[in-house]
Chains A and B, each alone.
Chain A
Amino acid sequence: MKFMEDRILNNSESLELISSMIKNTQEKITKNSGTPFLIWGYTTIIISLLVWGLSKYTLCGWSQALWFALPIIAFPLTLLSQRKKKVYVKTFVDSVISKIWIIFGVAGFIVTILAFLSPVLGVTSMPILFSVLLLMAMGTALTGLVIKFNILTICGIVSMFLSSACLIYRGLDSILVFSAIFFIMMVIPGHILNSKANKNV
Protein backbone atom coordinates (compact mmCIF):
# COMPACT_ATOMS: atom_id res chain seq x y z
CA MET A 1 0.00 0.00 0.00
CA LYS A 2 1.28 3.45 -0.90
CA PHE A 3 1.73 6.34 1.55
CA MET A 4 -1.38 8.43 1.98
CA GLU A 5 -1.19 12.15 1.45
CA ASP A 6 -3.36 15.23 1.57
CA ARG A 7 -4.46 14.72 -2.03
CA ILE A 8 -7.90 15.32 -3.55
CA LEU A 9 -9.60 12.13 -4.65
CA ASN A 10 -12.04 11.53 -7.45
CA ASN A 11 -15.47 10.24 -6.42
CA SER A 12 -14.95 6.56 -7.09
CA GLU A 13 -11.55 6.63 -5.37
CA SER A 14 -13.27 8.12 -2.31
CA LEU A 15 -15.82 5.33 -2.15
CA GLU A 16 -13.12 2.69 -2.64
CA LEU A 17 -11.02 4.21 0.15
CA ILE A 18 -13.95 4.32 2.58
CA SER A 19 -14.87 0.69 1.98
CA SER A 20 -11.28 -0.58 2.19
CA MET A 21 -10.58 1.29 5.48
CA ILE A 22 -13.80 0.03 7.08
CA LYS A 23 -13.17 -3.53 5.85
CA ASN A 24 -9.56 -3.54 7.16
CA THR A 25 -10.65 -2.37 10.59
CA GLN A 26 -13.60 -4.72 10.92
CA GLU A 27 -11.71 -7.81 9.81
CA LYS A 28 -8.75 -7.19 12.05
CA ILE A 29 -8.35 -9.65 14.91
CA THR A 30 -6.01 -7.94 17.33
CA LYS A 31 -2.68 -9.63 18.02
CA ASN A 32 -2.70 -11.73 21.23
CA SER A 33 -6.50 -11.54 21.60
CA GLY A 34 -6.41 -15.00 23.20
CA THR A 35 -4.13 -13.81 26.03
CA PRO A 36 -6.91 -12.90 28.53
CA PHE A 37 -8.26 -16.46 28.15
CA LEU A 38 -4.79 -17.88 28.78
CA ILE A 39 -4.24 -15.66 31.83
CA TRP A 40 -7.59 -16.59 33.43
CA GLY A 41 -7.36 -20.22 32.31
CA TYR A 42 -3.86 -20.94 33.62
CA THR A 43 -4.33 -18.91 36.83
CA THR A 44 -7.55 -20.79 37.60
CA ILE A 45 -5.92 -24.16 36.95
CA ILE A 46 -2.87 -23.36 39.13
CA ILE A 47 -5.01 -22.06 42.01
CA SER A 48 -7.41 -25.02 41.74
CA LEU A 49 -4.52 -27.47 41.97
CA LEU A 50 -3.05 -25.56 44.92
CA VAL A 51 -6.38 -25.60 46.76
CA TRP A 52 -6.82 -29.30 45.99
CA GLY A 53 -3.25 -30.20 47.04
CA LEU A 54 -3.31 -28.14 50.24
CA SER A 55 -6.73 -29.48 51.24
CA LYS A 56 -5.85 -33.10 50.48
CA TYR A 57 -2.31 -33.36 51.83
CA THR A 58 -2.12 -30.78 54.60
CA LEU A 59 -4.31 -29.69 57.46
CA CYS A 60 -4.27 -26.17 56.11
CA GLY A 61 -7.60 -24.64 57.11
CA TRP A 62 -7.40 -21.56 54.92
CA SER A 63 -6.75 -23.27 51.58
CA GLN A 64 -10.26 -22.39 50.28
CA ALA A 65 -9.46 -18.71 50.79
CA LEU A 66 -6.90 -19.09 47.99
CA TRP A 67 -9.78 -18.80 45.50
CA PHE A 68 -9.83 -15.07 46.24
CA ALA A 69 -6.26 -14.85 44.90
CA LEU A 70 -7.66 -15.61 41.44
CA PRO A 71 -9.02 -12.13 40.61
CA ILE A 72 -6.17 -10.50 42.55
CA ILE A 73 -3.63 -12.18 40.24
CA ALA A 74 -5.51 -12.50 36.95
CA PHE A 75 -7.16 -9.08 36.79
CA PRO A 76 -3.94 -6.98 36.98
CA LEU A 77 -2.21 -9.40 34.59
CA THR A 78 -5.03 -8.89 32.07
CA LEU A 79 -4.74 -5.10 32.38
CA LEU A 80 -0.96 -5.35 32.02
CA SER A 81 -1.25 -7.46 28.87
CA GLN A 82 -3.60 -4.85 27.33
CA ARG A 83 -1.20 -2.04 28.22
CA LYS A 84 1.71 -3.79 26.55
CA LYS A 85 0.02 -3.49 23.16
CA LYS A 86 1.96 -1.09 20.97
CA VAL A 87 -1.13 -0.28 18.93
CA TYR A 88 -4.44 0.61 20.55
CA VAL A 89 -7.80 0.30 18.88
CA LYS A 90 -11.12 -0.34 20.54
CA THR A 91 -13.82 -1.63 18.25
CA PHE A 92 -17.52 -1.95 19.09
CA VAL A 93 -16.95 -5.70 19.35
CA ASP A 94 -14.22 -5.14 21.99
CA SER A 95 -16.64 -2.97 23.90
CA VAL A 96 -19.40 -5.63 23.83
CA ILE A 97 -16.94 -8.33 24.96
CA SER A 98 -15.66 -6.30 27.91
CA LYS A 99 -19.27 -5.64 29.00
CA ILE A 100 -20.13 -9.35 28.73
CA TRP A 101 -17.18 -10.22 31.00
CA ILE A 102 -17.94 -7.47 33.51
CA ILE A 103 -21.46 -8.91 33.97
CA PHE A 104 -20.32 -12.54 34.14
CA GLY A 105 -17.40 -11.60 36.39
CA VAL A 106 -19.71 -9.80 38.84
CA ALA A 107 -22.13 -12.77 38.76
CA GLY A 108 -19.24 -15.17 39.44
CA PHE A 109 -18.04 -13.02 42.34
CA ILE A 110 -21.54 -12.88 43.89
CA VAL A 111 -21.88 -16.67 43.62
CA THR A 112 -18.46 -17.16 45.26
CA ILE A 113 -19.24 -14.78 48.13
CA LEU A 114 -22.63 -16.48 48.67
CA ALA A 115 -20.96 -19.89 48.74
CA PHE A 116 -18.53 -18.71 51.43
CA LEU A 117 -21.31 -17.12 53.43
CA SER A 118 -23.76 -20.00 52.99
CA PRO A 119 -23.11 -21.50 56.46
CA VAL A 120 -23.69 -18.08 58.05
CA LEU A 121 -26.76 -17.36 55.92
CA GLY A 122 -28.18 -20.80 56.64
CA VAL A 123 -28.36 -21.58 52.92
CA THR A 124 -27.92 -25.23 52.05
CA SER A 125 -24.60 -25.97 50.40
CA MET A 126 -24.25 -24.18 47.04
CA PRO A 127 -22.75 -26.02 44.04
CA ILE A 128 -20.12 -23.30 43.70
CA LEU A 129 -17.81 -25.00 41.17
CA PHE A 130 -20.75 -25.90 38.93
CA SER A 131 -22.19 -22.37 39.13
CA VAL A 132 -18.88 -20.64 38.35
CA LEU A 133 -18.14 -23.03 35.48
CA LEU A 134 -21.57 -22.56 33.95
CA LEU A 135 -21.26 -18.76 34.14
CA MET A 136 -17.75 -18.68 32.67
CA ALA A 137 -18.71 -21.18 29.93
CA MET A 138 -21.66 -18.93 28.99
CA GLY A 139 -19.30 -15.94 28.82
CA THR A 140 -16.87 -17.91 26.65
CA ALA A 141 -19.59 -19.12 24.25
CA LEU A 142 -21.02 -15.58 23.95
CA THR A 143 -17.55 -14.14 23.26
CA GLY A 144 -17.02 -16.78 20.56
CA LEU A 145 -20.33 -15.84 18.94
CA VAL A 146 -19.58 -12.10 19.05
CA ILE A 147 -16.09 -12.42 17.53
CA LYS A 148 -17.31 -15.20 15.18
CA PHE A 149 -14.64 -17.62 16.35
CA ASN A 150 -16.27 -21.05 16.22
CA ILE A 151 -13.68 -22.91 18.29
CA LEU A 152 -14.32 -20.57 21.23
CA THR A 153 -18.10 -20.96 20.87
CA ILE A 154 -17.84 -24.75 20.72
CA CYS A 155 -15.46 -24.92 23.71
CA GLY A 156 -17.86 -22.68 25.65
CA ILE A 157 -20.94 -24.75 24.83
CA VAL A 158 -19.14 -28.06 25.48
CA SER A 159 -18.01 -26.68 28.84
CA MET A 160 -21.59 -25.69 29.69
CA PHE A 161 -22.53 -29.37 29.35
CA LEU A 162 -19.37 -30.55 31.10
CA SER A 163 -20.01 -28.24 34.07
CA SER A 164 -22.62 -30.74 35.26
CA ALA A 165 -19.71 -33.11 36.04
CA CYS A 166 -19.04 -30.90 39.07
CA LEU A 167 -22.51 -31.88 40.34
CA ILE A 168 -21.75 -35.57 39.84
CA TYR A 169 -18.23 -35.60 41.30
CA ARG A 170 -18.50 -34.36 44.85
CA GLY A 171 -15.82 -33.64 47.40
CA LEU A 172 -12.26 -32.56 46.77
CA ASP A 173 -11.85 -34.34 43.44
CA SER A 174 -14.48 -32.10 41.89
CA ILE A 175 -11.75 -29.41 41.96
CA LEU A 176 -9.68 -31.53 39.55
CA VAL A 177 -12.70 -31.86 37.24
CA PHE A 178 -13.18 -28.08 37.52
CA SER A 179 -9.60 -27.35 36.43
CA ALA A 180 -9.76 -29.87 33.57
CA ILE A 181 -12.90 -28.18 32.21
CA PHE A 182 -11.20 -24.77 32.51
CA PHE A 183 -8.38 -26.17 30.35
CA ILE A 184 -10.89 -27.11 27.63
CA MET A 185 -12.87 -23.90 28.02
CA MET A 186 -10.09 -21.27 28.10
CA VAL A 187 -6.57 -22.63 27.57
CA ILE A 188 -7.13 -24.59 24.35
CA PRO A 189 -9.16 -21.89 22.52
CA GLY A 190 -6.87 -19.17 23.94
CA HIS A 191 -3.80 -20.74 22.30
CA ILE A 192 -5.65 -21.34 19.02
CA LEU A 193 -6.98 -17.75 19.01
CA ASN A 194 -3.50 -16.33 19.64
CA SER A 195 -1.93 -18.45 16.95
CA LYS A 196 -4.62 -17.42 14.42
CA ALA A 197 -4.50 -13.74 15.38
CA ASN A 198 -0.71 -13.56 15.29
CA LYS A 199 -0.66 -15.17 11.84
CA ASN A 200 -3.12 -12.56 10.53
CA VAL A 201 -1.16 -9.54 11.83
Chain B
Amino acid sequence: MFKELNPLLHSELRLAIMSILISVEEADFVYIKEQTKATAGNLSVQIDKLSNAGYISVVKGFSGKKPRTTCSITTEGKVAFEEYVENLKEYLKI
Protein backbone atom coordinates (compact mmCIF):
# COMPACT_ATOMS: atom_id res chain seq x y z
CA MET B 1 0.00 0.00 0.00
CA PHE B 2 1.27 3.44 -0.92
CA LYS B 3 2.02 5.90 1.84
CA GLU B 4 0.41 9.33 1.55
CA LEU B 5 2.72 12.02 0.23
CA ASN B 6 3.44 14.72 2.81
CA PRO B 7 0.90 17.45 1.86
CA LEU B 8 3.18 20.17 3.17
CA LEU B 9 5.85 19.20 0.63
CA HIS B 10 3.51 18.20 -2.18
CA SER B 11 3.12 21.75 -3.43
CA GLU B 12 5.20 23.33 -6.19
CA LEU B 13 6.71 26.26 -4.34
CA ARG B 14 7.31 24.57 -0.97
CA LEU B 15 8.92 21.58 -2.69
CA ALA B 16 11.15 23.92 -4.71
CA ILE B 17 12.25 25.74 -1.52
CA MET B 18 13.06 22.43 0.18
CA SER B 19 14.94 21.13 -2.90
CA ILE B 20 17.11 24.24 -2.95
CA LEU B 21 17.83 24.13 0.77
CA ILE B 22 18.63 20.39 0.77
CA SER B 23 21.53 21.07 -1.61
CA VAL B 24 23.07 24.09 0.16
CA GLU B 25 24.11 24.97 3.70
CA GLU B 26 22.06 28.16 3.68
CA ALA B 27 20.52 30.58 1.20
CA ASP B 28 18.92 33.97 1.52
CA PHE B 29 15.41 35.02 0.53
CA VAL B 30 16.65 36.79 -2.62
CA TYR B 31 18.44 33.68 -3.89
CA ILE B 32 15.38 31.47 -3.31
CA LYS B 33 13.17 34.07 -4.98
CA GLU B 34 15.51 34.18 -8.02
CA GLN B 35 15.60 30.40 -8.32
CA THR B 36 11.85 29.83 -7.90
CA LYS B 37 10.70 32.98 -9.73
CA ALA B 38 7.97 33.27 -7.09
CA THR B 39 6.47 36.53 -5.90
CA ALA B 40 7.91 37.87 -2.64
CA GLY B 41 4.53 37.70 -0.88
CA ASN B 42 3.81 34.11 -1.82
CA LEU B 43 7.36 33.04 -1.03
CA SER B 44 7.15 34.60 2.45
CA VAL B 45 3.93 32.72 3.18
CA GLN B 46 5.39 29.37 2.08
CA ILE B 47 8.63 29.94 4.01
CA ASP B 48 6.56 30.66 7.12
CA LYS B 49 4.60 27.42 6.64
CA LEU B 50 7.80 25.37 6.33
CA SER B 51 9.35 27.18 9.27
CA ASN B 52 6.26 26.62 11.47
CA ALA B 53 6.43 22.91 10.62
CA GLY B 54 10.05 22.89 11.82
CA TYR B 55 11.36 21.92 8.37
CA ILE B 56 13.50 25.02 7.86
CA SER B 57 15.10 27.57 10.13
CA VAL B 58 14.84 31.24 9.28
CA VAL B 59 17.30 33.80 10.60
CA LYS B 60 16.62 37.48 10.08
CA GLY B 61 19.76 39.59 10.17
CA PHE B 62 21.62 42.30 8.36
CA SER B 63 24.27 42.37 5.65
CA GLY B 64 25.80 45.77 6.19
CA LYS B 65 22.77 48.04 6.45
CA LYS B 66 20.47 45.86 4.36
CA PRO B 67 18.17 43.30 6.01
CA ARG B 68 18.85 39.69 5.03
CA THR B 69 16.65 36.65 5.68
CA THR B 70 18.68 33.46 5.63
CA CYS B 71 17.08 30.01 5.43
CA SER B 72 18.52 26.58 6.07
CA ILE B 73 17.00 23.12 6.27
CA THR B 74 16.66 21.48 9.71
CA THR B 75 17.28 17.81 10.55
CA GLU B 76 13.50 17.35 10.75
CA GLY B 77 13.20 18.90 7.30
CA LYS B 78 15.86 16.59 5.87
CA VAL B 79 14.03 13.52 7.26
CA ALA B 80 10.68 14.74 5.88
CA PHE B 81 12.24 15.46 2.47
CA GLU B 82 13.92 12.04 2.30
CA GLU B 83 10.66 10.32 3.26
CA TYR B 84 8.82 12.32 0.61
CA VAL B 85 11.32 11.30 -2.08
CA GLU B 86 11.16 7.63 -0.99
CA ASN B 87 7.36 7.64 -1.15
CA LEU B 88 7.46 9.39 -4.50
CA LYS B 89 9.78 6.67 -5.84
CA GLU B 90 7.29 4.02 -4.72
CA TYR B 91 4.47 5.79 -6.53
CA LEU B 92 6.55 6.08 -9.68
CA LYS B 93 7.98 2.55 -9.26
CA ILE B 94 11.56 3.77 -9.58
* CB-contact partner of B16 in A4, A15, A91, under 8 A: A4
Nearest CB of A to B61, in Å: 10
Give 1 or 0 for each of A88-103: 1 = CB within 8 Å of chain B CB.
1111101100000000
Chain A residues at the B interface, C-beta cutoff of 8 Å? 1-9, 11-15, 17-18, 21-22, 24-26, 83, 86-92, 94-95
A90 to B23, CA, bound (A): 10
User: Does A6 lie within 8 Å of B14, measured CB to CB?
Assistant: yes
Write out the residue numbers on chain A whose beta carbons fall within 8 Å of the beta carbon of B68: 88
User: Does A25 lie within 8 Å of B35, measured CB to CB?
Assistant: yes
A85 to B37, CA, bound (A): 19
Q: Which B residues, 1 to 28, have Cβ-Cβ distances below 8 Å to chain A?
A: 5, 10-16, 19-20, 22-28
A3 to B11, CA, bound (A): 13
Write out the residue numbers on chain A whose beta carbons fall within 8 Å of the beta carbon of B14: 6
Write out the residue numbers on chain B whose beta carbons fall within 8 Å of the beta carbon of A94: 25
* CB-contact partner of A15 in B22, B31, B88, under 8 A: B88
Please give the number of chain B residues whose Cβ is less than 8 angstroms from any Cβ of chain A in the complex: 37
Q: How many A-B residue pairs have CB under 8 A?
A: 98
A25 to B36, CA, bound (A): 11
User: Does A88 lie within 8 Å of B70, measured CB to CB?
Assistant: yes
Given contacts A91-B23, A91-B25, list 5 more A-B pairs with CB under 8 A.
A1-B37, A6-B42, A13-B12, A88-B26, A88-B68
Chain B residues at the A interface, C-beta cutoff of 8 Å? 5, 10-16, 19-20, 22-28, 30-31, 34-39, 42, 45-46, 63-64, 68, 70, 85, 88, 91-92, 94
Write out the residue numbers on chain B whose beta carbons fall within 8 Å of the beta carbon of A25: 20, 23-24, 35
Closest chain A residue, CB of each to CB of B35: A24
User: Does A87 lie within 8 Å of B15, measured CB to CB?
Assistant: no
A-B contact pairs, 17 of them (CB 8 A): A4-B12, A5-B12, A6-B12, A7-B11, A8-B11, A9-B15, A11-B5, A11-B91, A14-B88, A15-B88, A25-B20, A25-B24, A83-B64, A87-B30, A88-B70, A89-B31, A92-B24
Closest chain B residue, CB of each to CB of A85: B63
Closest chain B residue, CB of each to CB of A15: B88
- Greatest chain B CB density within 10 A among A8, A12, A24, A87 is at A87
A88 to B63, CA, bound (A): 10
Write out the residue numbers on chain B whose beta carbons fall within 8 Å of the beta carbon of A2: 37
Write out the residue numbers on chain B whose beta carbons fall within 8 Å of the beta carbon of A95: 25
A6 to B17, CA, bound (A): 11
Nearest CB of B to A10, in Å: 10
